[in-house]
Structure 1
Amino acid sequence: MSEPTTPDVPATPFHDLDAYIALPRLGGLRLSPDGTRLVTAVQTLDRKRTAWVTALWEVDPAGEKPARRLTRSAKSESSAAFTPSGDLLFTSARPDPDAEDPDADPKAALWLLPADGAEARVVASRASGVGGVQVATDAPTVLVVSDVLPSAADDEADARIAKERKDKKVAAILHDSYPIRYWDHDLGPATPHAFVATVSDEVAAPVAGERDPRLELRDVTPDAAGALREQHPVLTPDGRTVVTSWGRNVARGNVRTDLVTIDVATGERAVLVSDPDADLGDPLVSPDGRWVAYSRETLSTPHDAPRYELWVVALTGGEPRRLGADWDRWPGAKVWLPTSDGLVVVADDDGRAPMFHVELSSGAVTRLTSDDAAFADVQVAPDGRTAYALRTSYEAPAHPVRIDLAAALEGGAPVAATPLPAPAPLPALPGRLEEVETTAEDGSRVRAWLALPEGASADDPAPFLLWIHGGPLGSWNAWSWRWNPWLLVAQGYAVLLPDPALSTGYGQEFIQRGWGAWGKAPYTDLMAVTDAALQRPDLDETRTAAMGGSFGGYMANWVAGHTDRFRAIVTHASLWALDQFGPTTDASYYWQREMTPEMALENSPHRFVGDIVTPMLVIHGDKDYRVPIGEGLRLWYELLADSGLPADDEGRTPHRFLYFPDENHWILTPQHAKVWYQTVEAFLATHVLGRTGDDAVAYPEVLG
């Protein structure tokens, strides 16, 4: 992963970070109403190689034609959605030819790309930009989400106040509610509102010589305040009703979410479902307009983990009911079948995320796909016999596939997906993927993926890296461009990707056994599966390291304070002092449901700093609001001052701190991602491989 010194083509893109960050990345999938066109978004590097730009590509559902590019601009395109007539809507901050001030910093506007291939044009814009595009399936109605300042009486005032803040460089925000920031961005003063418009004949067919007509966006949520933050409103098929989760502030800094309907004509809002024991979200209206499917997350307590469930309620109201009540999995993304008698649902399952059919009448659940993979962005053909999705795993990044739903449902057995011609070929891997499993001390089965380098054998065993996932409610089941084991495999390491207690896809009890006790079952599971892996003759048990980010960083810190078995530990965006973390994270109310103060203290890694004798690489971004920078700063100082491996009398230390002043929880920009991996490589090479002096792997020169 060092800077390339020869023009030789690398064996795989994972042997050269420049080649790796240049790999195209797919995300999102939309199917046209007639089922003949698929559209996906593809990220590629810009010319300076300092940012990614996104373009829309069309994929042939029949699998006969190559993918073709639909859009191109330096500002990217996203939020693709088809109108009932087959035109393609998307958002982009590309220059608007009719802009009143062409030199102003453009915001994302709504563009329309006609189905007949005519040039795309702007059909709606607001000073703050638009996003979250939704289209009614049976009516020419479109919904967008756009930020509105609380004191603005109309669009003109909204634009004027926003411009004044920008011109006078005023960034101050006066808050009167919680939360005030989220992940990597400050909240306020503007808040998201839902706007609805009709795609009239004039908008669909402009006249030459006249300014292109625009949609008349109408705010149907003028009193939203913060209610639509991180929510995803949708339209009913007839375009007459908006259905959305609706946040509300309650006592002691808590936030709850209900399910509401909003009449498009009048703006009247009504509560569809309010549940004192759960938060409700991700509504989806059935094609016949009768049902709303939604997710229900029970309110956790320090002693009871949350439960994620799939529920339905009639659009007209009534008693909700749960689907798949006997299904011991957490339902994720969902899509209705065209017949409205069932849904296709994706759920984590044993290190995969297959597609399942959930019957509306009985709630019965049937697995549809047999692939060792995870599926996302599922789209169902108009006849309901075929589905399309992006398939991914730790053997391949996201790529479009076709699934024969009819064969799976009529044949009674899961089927394998068929790949479709993609905008870019899948990259060659520098090794192979296997599975490891063991039995934990309480009898629970614990499994992991193991990525092995080519040539690893008993005669040449590979150094070992334990990589712990974040969440903690998640699973190593889908390709990650940010956390990619193959970059380390290309350097000769075998990388273990385990799912310990708290991981999803193994049933509620598997989550519960680690709930409120992060330092117990999750830790012992990790050590047990590491022991099992290191029994293999092709792994070198004397050259080992552990690494993780977010919750994985927490576990890396916990591991450092409880064992000296690893030669090096990398901890990214990690929780260190839980008493400090709880009140400063971006959603403290959720944390209060997770641990009592006593539990937080018992499970806090900082109490064991004196037992840390392993060199640690600490990594943190200053714009991380989920795990605030204070965690990294305190960890760094206490490593040098109080650990079992402190700085010596001359201030020298084997520990390192890689600090990103302008990055967030994930480190997202291309060149910073390079620096991240290069630094990890150099640190591991020193302490795991023993490469020092003339044989040392250099830290990246751009660090100064």
Structure 2
Amino acid sequence: MNRVSILTALLLMGASAMAQKVPEKNIEKSVLTDKINNYLDKRPMTAEDLWKLGRVSTEGLSADGNTVIYGVSNYSFEENKSEKNLYTISVKGGVAQNFTTEPGGESVVEVTANNDVIYLYKGQLWTKNLKGGAATQLTNYEGGLSNVKLSPDKKHILFSQSVLITKNHSKDKYADLPKSNVYIYDNLDYRHWDTDNDGRFNHPFVATYDNGKIGEAIDLLEGQPFYSPTAPFGGAEDFAWSPDSKSVLYVCKKKAGTEYATSTNTDIYQYALGTKQTKNLTEGMMGYDTHPTFNKQGNRLAWLSMKTDGYEADKNDIILQDMATGQKVNLTGHWDETVNAFVWSNDGKKIYFVAPTRGTVQLFAIDVPANLQVRSLPNIQQLSEGQFDISGIVGETKDGLVVTSTKMTQAAEIYVYNLKSKKLNPITTVNDSKYVQFKETKVEGRFTKASDGEDLFSWVIYPPDFDPTKKYPTLLFCQGGPQSATTQGYSFRWNFQLMASQGYIIILPNRRGMPGWGTKWNEDISKDWGGQPIRDYLSAIDDLKKEPYIDHDRIGAIGASYGGYSVFMLAGMHEGRFKSFISHCGLFNMESWYGTTEELFFANYDLGGPYWDKANAKTYKDFNPIKHIDKWNTPILIFQGGKDYRVPIGQGQEAFQVAQLKGIKSRFVFLPEENHWVLSGHNAQVWQREFFGWLKETL
């Protein structure tokens, strides 16, 4: 809608309100004037604006596919917390309806054939029909329920609960010392992500279910120190029911201690209710096996699989198994990219999936072979194309595929992708009224020749009202992962629209190690952290500097995790290119990092192994930021989370101490309650203020 149309609509709204003789006659005029000014005099986005956006999550579809159920989380600055409620809307768009309004977040478990929405609220199951009426609490289960999956015949329930297995905490080990707070460990896996291992493990339970009444539950991992769902991020997607309701599937890495910390070998297990026997469906498949999903017909099972044990960023393939014969086939093994997520088509003849490609994440389809014994390569077709990401697939309807999509300048909304017209049609517009107030920030793609002659793609974001005759401060963004794609995703912290709105140009290179440019490009970063990927960053910024609008005296480098490592590396080798650095939870001393990080499989694969192994000397010498501090001479801001076990606190502390003792302008922002990310709204505001304050001081 153009500005004239918007102005006309607002004038009509105002005329309508005055015709209804709303009390306080000046209110309508004031509100109308403000709205008109907001639309005609757009302004740059602020950090506060970012946290006022609604965060959209897809929850499900009605039985007929005509209605979408979705969640919106809204943040309260006053309470420093988010509130999530559920909404319904026609798949064709239109006016959304509130479905839940109670304080506390709800999440949909399933929608039944008669459109009863069963959802989790405060650890219990509730139900409410899409047509309206009061919500009814179904369960009152002691300890609460998590990751619930009801059997198709509604006679059984699968869920998870935390179970005490090993007495790692002193209060459990010594009951007479209830005021103690001591952890005792005999092996690794003593902490993960941001949580100390207190000896409690999430286990899957299965029980009879009769309209809310749950029978005696069977612990499928009774007495075993294993996690299912998998820690730290596994959820209900790790569970599945067979369509005949006779068995359940669960994902688990059945390893403990040092084996747990050094392996990625998760497997998919099938538990038969009748025989109470468990079978490993992925025996001999040594990497991650996740997201088991049956087709609606019940004769085929698909899941995501990586080949290599210990390689967390290996190519993710879709494996198909015929349940009658047990025969397996890799549907995407011949394809030179990696799969993010997938869903079955309703007729079971296709699988739709999303995958990174050339700086975006797009929608693909693969034909499912009717006969798995025929070894012809399945046909893979890219369906969508454009300057956006397809971040997830909800399901298939007669109107097309219901998906979520983002841009660098737009948070997630829900769309229908029309398979015939190849277009995205919006269903939700939760944040449109906010975005329309902000000045636009242009996003363009750019190719550079890397130092080895390869084509290197970057996204470049420009400030509002960009004028190529002026000069602008510029930021090189270094991506984390290290094998994470820089696409058209939307971040509520590393938000490039927000950065550009403060007057900066930002360049985001798709350097070596990013998926979407072939598996070799993705793999080339392993054991070469400080080599070609860092040269890619320098090639990208040196190429952009050729543009007359780049202020050579005001260039900075920023990044988190591996991106923070990249900043630390660049600080020792940039030869005057940069005037300021910002590193968030970056790896600084690779030896001490290896000795304190918790997912050792990652360190073993990407670095080559431990620092005492002479075969890894290059990693711990040439590619170790601490070995290049003799060349540090540039202002640097360092963020560090206190509960970050992936990149523990000592990394930020060591880097800051070096900068201070060398007399370099530096600042240490310590977030004691945050992990590798920043999740608290107030803490995030501090983060943004320190981030942009530092840039103003140093650029």
- 1:332 is aligned to 340
Contact 1:67 1:422 in 2 (8 A): no
Cα distance in 2 for partners of 1:378, 1:140 equals 28
2:413 to 391, 394, 399: 399
- Alpha-carbon spacing, 1:317–1:629, altered in 2? closer, same or farther (3 Å): farther
Cα deviation code 1:28-84 (max 9, x no counterpart)? 341123212211121101362411121112121122x31122112332223543234
Cα distance in 2 for partners of 1:404, 1:165 equals 61
For 1:5-404, list aligned pairs within 5 A. 15-46=45-76, 48-63=78-93, 65-93=94-122, 108-137=123-152, 139=154, 141-150=156-165, 168=178, 172-175=182-185, 178-197=188-207, 200=210, 203=211, 214-216=213-215, 218-223=217-222, 224-228=224-228, 229-230=230-231, 231=234, 232-249=238-255, 252-253=258-259, 254-255=262-263, 256-275=265-284, 277-299=286-308, 306-316=314-324, 318-361=326-369, 362-381=377-396, 386-404=400-418
Contact 1:195 1:217 in 2 (8 A): no
- 2:554 is aligned to 543
- Alpha-carbon spacing, 1:568–1:377, altered in 2? closer, same or farther (3 Å): same
Contact 1:258 1:274 in 2 (8 A): yes
1:417 offset after TM fit, Å?
1.1
2:215 alignment partner, SS class = coil
1:92 offset after TM fit, Å?
2.5
Contact 2:270 2:281 in 1 (8 A): yes
Contact 1:456 1:539 in 2 (8 A): no
Contact 1:220 1:264 in 2 (8 A): no
- 2:588 is aligned to 576
- 2:638 is aligned to 618
Contact 1:458 1:539 in 2 (8 A): no
- 1:411 is aligned to none
2:423 to 416, 421, 430: 416
- 1:692 is aligned to none
| Bigger mean CA deviation after superposition, 436-445 or 169-178 | 169-178
Cα distance in 2 for partners of 1:192, 1:449 equals 41
> What residue identity is the alignment partner of 2:348?
S
1:634 to 647, 654, 657: 654
2:50 alignment partner, SS class = helix
> What residue identity is the alignment partner of 1:296?
S
Give the TM-score normalised by the residue count of structure 1. 0.83
Cα distance in 1 for partners of 2:606, 2:166 equals 36
Cα deviation code 1:316-345 (max 9, x no counterpart)? 563321112221110111101111122101
Cα distance in 2 for partners of 1:176, 1:41 equals 43
1:459 offset after TM fit, Å?
2.6
Cα distance in 2 for partners of 1:165, 1:448 equals 58
Cα distance in 2 for partners of 1:89, 1:541 equals 58
Cα distance in 2 for partners of 1:13, 1:390 equals 27
Cα deviation code 1:559-585 (max 9, x no counterpart)? 111113111000001011111112321
| Bigger mean CA deviation after superposition, 627-636 or 276-285 | 276-285
1:176 offset after TM fit, Å?
5.6
- Alpha-carbon spacing, 1:237–1:633, altered in 2? closer, same or farther (3 Å): same
Give the TM-score normalised by the residue count of structure 2. 0.84
Percent of aligned positions that are identical: 22
- Alpha-carbon spacing, 1:167–1:350, altered in 2? closer, same or farther (3 Å): farther
Contact 1:139 1:237 in 2 (8 A): no
Cα deviation code 1:258-308 (max 9, x no counterpart)? 221112345421111122543322211111112221122122679x97332
Contact 1:458 1:537 in 2 (8 A): yes
Cα distance in 1 for partners of 2:656, 2:184 equals 33
Contact 1:345 1:355 in 2 (8 A): yes
Contact 1:220 1:267 in 2 (8 A): no
> What residue identity is the alignment partner of 2:474?
F
> What residue identity is the alignment partner of 2:553?
T
1:437 offset after TM fit, Å?
1.4
2:214 alignment partner, SS class = coil
1:604 to 619, 624, 627: 624
> What residue identity is the alignment partner of 2:250?
T
> What residue identity is the alignment partner of 2:423?
A
Cα distance in 1 for partners of 2:453, 2:284 equals 36
- 1:412 is aligned to none
Q: How many pairs align?
A: 629
* Runs of 5+ consecutive residues of structure 2 not aligned to the other structure: 1-33, 370-376
> Does residue 434 in structure 1 map to residue 444 in structure 2?
yes
Contact 2:638 2:667 in 1 (8 A): yes
1:557 offset after TM fit, Å?
0.7
1:57 alignment partner, SS class = strand
Cα distance in 2 for partners of 1:219, 1:170 equals 33
Cα distance in 2 for partners of 1:455, 1:12 equals 11
- Alpha-carbon spacing, 1:305–1:546, altered in 2? closer, same or farther (3 Å): same
1:249 alignment partner, SS class = coil
C-alpha RMSD over aligned residues: 2.8
> What residue identity is the alignment partner of 1:566?
F
Cα deviation code 1:629-680 (max 9, x no counterpart)? 1111111112222xxxx13xxxxx5100011111111111111111111111
Cα deviation code 1:530-574 (max 9, x no counterpart)? 122222223222211010011110111111111131110000010
Cα deviation code 1:412-460 (max 9, x no counterpart)? xxx1211113344262453211111112122222111111012332332
For 1:447-462, list aligned pairs within 5 A. 447-462=457-472
2:694 alignment partner, SS class = helix
- Alpha-carbon spacing, 1:301–1:71, altered in 2? closer, same or farther (3 Å): closer
Cα deviation code 1:494-542 (max 9, x no counterpart)? 1112211001111111122222101111111111111222222232222
Cα deviation code 1:465-514 (max 9, x no counterpart)? 11111111111211111210122211111111221100111111112222
1:90 offset after TM fit, Å?
2.2
- 2:679 is aligned to 668
- Alpha-carbon spacing, 1:628–1:512, altered in 2? closer, same or farther (3 Å): same
| Bigger mean CA deviation after superposition, 54-63 or 607-616 | 54-63
Cα distance in 1 for partners of 2:216, 2:606 equals 41
> Does residue 519 in structure 1 map to residue 530 in structure 2?
yes
* Runs of 5+ consecutive residues of structure 1 not aligned to the other structure: 1-6, 94-107, 153-160, 204-212, 409-414, 648-652, 689-704
Contact 1:436 1:529 in 2 (8 A): no
1:147 offset after TM fit, Å?
1.5
- 1:699 is aligned to none
> What residue identity is the alignment partner of 1:527?
L
Cα distance in 2 for partners of 1:585, 1:591 equals 8
Cα distance in 2 for partners of 1:517, 1:617 equals 25
Contact 2:449 2:456 in 1 (8 A): yes
| Bigger mean CA deviation after superposition, 530-539 or 659-668 | 530-539
> What residue identity is the alignment partner of 1:192?
N
Cα distance in 1 for partners of 2:166, 2:593 equals 34
> What residue identity is the alignment partner of 1:285?
F
Cα distance in 2 for partners of 1:36, 1:215 equals 32
